[in-house]
Amino acid sequence: MPQLGQGQVGTLKSTPKLTKINGDDHNKVIYRNLGNNHAYPFVWASTAVVASGTQSIVVASGIKWHGYELATYASVVATPEGDVGYCYTDKDTTANTITLMTSSAPSVDTNVALVFMLGGEMDVEGLFCRGNNANPAQSLP
């Protein structure tokens, strides 16, 4: 049984990478350590204020780490803390900006909680592990 102990291959690595992460003592951020004193934030939280009478605000502009442009590689979750209808983000990958948009203009200044996560899109259909379908089995090459 030569397949025993062999992990997944293909777009996923056969051996998972061990990643050390650190939190910050004072800021809402988690850093991924790349070694050699290099680290970049890959999950962080922020708050944006949508002024009364407006429906959009730029929440990030020109941010880039180790070749990752925020508008291209970030997922953003926006949660309004008041009545702004629904809200979503508009990403301009050419200008590397992220704009928060709301469906209706609030009558008072309204906070919107934002959570950013840096990374490329993941192919969920390509993941196989025990127990995630009707016939649980490990995916072997």
Owning domain of residue 49 = 43-120
DSSP 8-state code for residue 135? S
- Residue 88: strand, helix, or coil: strand
Instruction: Name the residue type at position 42.
Output: F
Q: How many CB atoms lie within 10 A of CB 118?
A: 20
Token code pair at residue 11: 């777009």
Asked whether residue 98 is domain-assigned, the answer is yes
Q: Is residue 86 part of a domain?
A: yes
List, for residues 113-133, the tens digit of each pLDDT value. Answer: 999 998 777 766 665 555 555
pLDDT-derived band of residue 62, with 50, 70 and 90 as boundaries? very high
Q: How many domains does the chain have?
A: 1
Contact, 19 vs 38, CB < 8 A? Answer: no
Residue 1 lies in a domain: no
pLDDT tens figures, 2-31: 444 445 455 554 455 667 778 888 888 888
Q: How confident is the model at residue 95 (pLDDT cuts 50, 70, 90)?
A: very high
Within-domain flag for 81: yes
Residue written as token pair 């050419």: 94
More confident call, 85 vs 95: 95
Is 10 within the bounds of a domain? no
Residue 24 in domain: no
Domain presence at residue 106: yes
Angle at 55 between CA 62 and CA 104, to 5 degrees: 145
**Residue 9: inside a domain, yes or no?**
no
| pLDDT of the residue at 129 | 57
Confidence label for 90 from pLDDT (cuts 50, 70 and 90): very high
